[in-house]
Amino acid sequence: MSLIDWDVLISLRADIGEEDFADVVFVFVAEMGEKLAALSRTPGSARADDFHFLRGSAANLGFTAMVSACNAAEAACRSGEEPDLDAVEQAFEAALAEARPHLPELDAA
């Protein structure tokens, strides 16, 4: 089972063009990585809005497993439970690993 909805990613590339696609991928991946690193440093500060942000970025790239993990983490925050940050980080890393062979743009991110 793929961790990425390739139709979403291919559609994004087609919609914005090859050159801009590289920039968009770089920005999304860098921002998600920075947010996850910040949350890892202070996991107790995680809020539903953090996972909402990550979910939106992941959805734009078609990172479906990360979208699911972020949905669960956001719901946990909203219900006063501890979010599963590890699941979100693992989904992010796994999606990157799956995408890297097909998207050389990720090497710069």
pLDDT at residue 26 in the model: 87
Quickly list H helices, the chain.
6-16, 18-41, 48-61, 64-78, 85-99
In this structure, what token pair is assigned to residue 81?
A: 């439970």
Tens digit of pLDDT at every position of the chain (109 positions): 689 999 999 999 999 998 898 888 889 999 999 999 999 999 889 999 999 999 999 999 999 999 999 999 999 999 999 999 999 999 999 999 998 888 776 666 5
Other C-beta atoms closer than 10 Å to the C-beta of 43 total 12
d(CA 26, CA 17): 14
pLDDT at residue 103 in the model: 79
Out of 1.10.287, 1.10.3470, 1.20.120, 1.10.20, the CATH code matching 6-108 is 1.20.120
pLDDT at residue 97 in the model: 92
pLDDT at residue 57 in the model: 93
